[in-house]
Structure 1
Amino acid sequence: MYIKVNEAVKNIDALILPMASVLYGLEGYACKPANAHEGGRNVVYVCEKGGEAAAVLRIAFLQDRTREDFLGELEFVRYLFEHGGSVPDVVGSRQGNLLEEVAHDHHTFFICLFQKAAGKTLAENQYRYREGAPMTEYFFNCGKVLGKLHQLSKGYTPSRRRYGFHDKFNADSIEKRIPGSLPLLKEKMLDLLKALEELDKNREAYGIVHFDFNDGNYAIDFATGQITVYDFDNCCSCWYMFDVASLWTNGTGWIQFEPDAGKRRAFMDAYFKTALEGYKSETGLGDALLEKLHLFIQVNLMESIMDAFEVMRNNGEAPECNEALSYRIKCLEDDIPYLGFFHDIYACDEPFEHDKRTI
């Protein structure tokens, strides 16, 4: 049974949070719920003491992940931190455990604690970068921090298996999640899976990736420009190019209201060149892999579409397409590259939206 975030918060606030506070020694801290998002799988609290945020407590309430899944994530994050990755460390419990679990009313809650990342998100800073510094510094640093994480991942040998891309994205999951009224979409997704089967999975191309790399999942120290990446909840074994495609996509927001497609393309070329320079300053990325950028932007689209339908299904809602989801589906069905950002489908007054479609 799927539990919505808002419903889970009520029970967790009253029953699970006090137990978690004891397990992690958080007595005397003010634990405030972070803003939840639709389809969330965790309840997150920012833990403050003396008015300063010190830690982030995460309580998972869905039963879609096992203890081994969580430990696979937390051990990877601890490895990244210990080897110089710009991530918050995992804080052990009073018993020295990276993960604790609490059972209540035949339901298991998995609990972990992280250091609070220094700085703020771009949204919290009204999408302004640090005063006096050019945006190219930010673009470079975005690539650099991701490149460092990938370089460390290339040297990581997990003691516990973290699930892989094809465990969640396969013919069976497409059939299960995508409505039968969208046969062309299913066909295009299966074509993407076939294209991926032809790619190498060597250590330089394939490893554990963040899988949700965007400006909502890292904080920026606006005094130094340092970026600290968090929320590895979706991390999995995949091609590094999946994250690199996310890096490209992240740039569209800076120019999405520009009516001239030529100017949008020129900006994206310059943005991505700078971001890649940052990325390559930390790890290798050959031309053969970069040639797959369009493919992995489409794979990003596939992931977002499947996630949208999964959330509806888990919420017990009938599948429907709003304007944003219709846009993504259109790009995938019609093989429109680069999110349609340079195509006639794109409208700068309603970025990444398309007429609703009936399912």
Structure 2
Amino acid sequence: MKSVGGDIINHNEVAEIYEAYLSPLVSELYVLEGYETSLINAHAGGRNVVYNCEKEGASAKILRIAYLNDRSREDLLGEVEYIQYLFEHGGSVSNVISSRKGNLLEEITHNNHTFFVCLFEKARGKRLVENHYQYREGVPITEYYYNCGKVLGKLHQLSKGYAPVHRRYSFFDKYNVEYIDKLIPGTLSLLKEKMVELLKTLERLDKNSESFGMVHFDYSDGNYMIDFDTGQITVFDFDNSCFCWYMYDLANLWTLGMGWIQFEPDAGKRKNFMDDYFRTVLEGYTSETKNEDLMLDKLSLFIQITLIENIVDAFEVMRNNGEELKCDEELSYRIKCLEDDIPYFGFFHEVFSCEEPFECEERKI
């Protein structure tokens, strides 16, 4: 939600405002006359109102309206400029479309509320979940693992030459002691202590141009489409992109592999699968960028950092939605992994249950 002068606005209200007032303005700005727009259901934690725009004989578009105050105009410009740079240099991303005025980002004010609007080409294909997690018929799943790494490697290689006009925030601008202390309840003092320890460890790492730069920060199968005719992956949703270590995106990609083997009761078999999976990912990744400074020996550390992101996001969603703070089974599991120093998302540890993956007993705050 967004508070302006004490007035709070939520996702549904933004959708109503769009339908009643903003739609004609946006249609004029982006030449969307004749397009049918349909609201895309927001996922848990979604920070934007998003529409699918379709017209016979024309390529489909995705319209995004940002309304929360956790992204500044500078941040949003930094995001869309980065996407345009990646696309123009051969990155497999959904390109941003300029408005009739030539702007990548449009700002509209209505009743003292500010909305930031941008339009994207819709990626070709489907998300994996839309295909019921079935890959291309007759093609080994290892092609998918390889392509995931290859597409990410290309994006990271391009980032190494990126000189932003509007600079996105860096990891520590958000993930720092002050913010953690403010966001996480005092009753979770051990969690806060462990988070701070990990952040201090990160601060000591090198930030050279081969290891640190603009990353997607949410590279997952929910944020790319797969062309099931060719296997091509097209990435979208750079809403969380920031300056960070490239290893973060790779660690996040490691965690994606767990879903393929999470119901296997034998921890040794899970370990062997993950080793093979990540080896294939890295083969794809290093086909596009070198790995001398990849910090692969820090994989376990960066997986713990993805847990910090998960936990921070969960508390931000509760705060933004005005919900009572609580730890469900999934959040409790993540907290336990950090508090008890359990590596690799607990995937090879006795805390993990293949009957109830990534869940443990709820805890009180």
> Which bin holds the TM-score, normalised by the shorter protein?
over 0.9
2:246–2:294 Cα contact (<8 Å) kept: no
- CA deviation profile, 1:108-149 (whole Å, cap 9, x unmatched): 100000111011100111111111110000000000000000
Q: Which residue of 1 aligns with 2:32?
A: 26
Query: CA separation in 2, counterparts of 1:8 and 1:258?
Result: 43
Equivalent residue in structure 1 for 2:260, among 254, 279, 283: 254
Matched, 1:340 2:339: no
The SS at the match of 1:291 is helix
The SS at the match of 2:62 is strand
- CA deviation profile, 1:10-31 (whole Å, cap 9, x unmatched): 2222222332111101010001
- CA deviation profile, 1:146-200 (whole Å, cap 9, x unmatched): 0000000001011111101001000110011100000000000000111001101
Report the AA paired with residue 126 of structure 1.
H
**TM-score, length-scaled by structure 1:** 0.98
Query: CA separation in 1, counterparts of 2:222 and 2:55?
Result: 24
Q: Which residue of 1 aligns with 2:83?
A: 77
- CA deviation profile, 1:33-76 (whole Å, cap 9, x unmatched): 11201222111111101287611111111122222111111110
Q: Which runs of 5+ in 2 are unaligned?
A: none
Q: Which residue of 1 aligns with 2:120?
A: 114
1:326–1:353 Cα contact (<8 Å) kept: yes
Q: 1:53 to 1:124 in 2, by over 3 A?
A: farther
- CA deviation profile, 1:228-260 (whole Å, cap 9, x unmatched): 000001100000011000110010000111111
- CA deviation profile, 1:264-306 (whole Å, cap 9, x unmatched): 1111111000001000111122376000000000000001101
Moved more, 36-45 or 118-127: 36-45
1:5–1:39 Cα contact (<8 Å) kept: no
**TM-score, length-scaled by structure 2:** 0.96
The SS at the match of 2:38 is strand
Matched, 1:238 2:211: no
Query: CA separation in 2, counterparts of 1:327 and 1:39?
Result: 18
- CA deviation profile, 1:291-327 (whole Å, cap 9, x unmatched): 0000000000001101111111122222100000000
Moved more, 29-38 or 174-183: 29-38
Query: CA separation in 2, counterparts of 1:38 and 1:113?
Result: 22
Matched, 1:188 2:187: no
The SS at the match of 1:131 is coil
Q: 1:7 to 1:259 in 2, by over 3 A?
A: farther
The SS at the match of 1:32 is strand
Equivalent residue in structure 2 for 1:99, among 97, 105, 128: 105
The SS at the match of 1:225 is coil
Which 4+ runs in 1 deviate beyond 6 A? Answer: none
Report the AA paired with residue 34 of structure 2.
G
1:211–1:236 Cα contact (<8 Å) kept: yes
The SS at the match of 1:277 is helix
Q: Percent identity?
A: 66
Moved more, 254-263 or 53-62: 53-62
Q: 1:76 to 1:163 in 2, by over 3 A?
A: same
Q: Which residue of 1 aligns with 2:19?
A: 13
Query: CA separation in 2, counterparts of 1:132 and 1:288?
Result: 33
Per-residue deviation at 1:202? 0.5
Query: CA separation in 2, counterparts of 1:75 and 1:315?
Result: 29
1:205–1:239 Cα contact (<8 Å) kept: yes
Q: Which residue of 2 aligns with 1:272?
A: 278
Q: Which residue of 2 aligns with 1:167?
A: 173
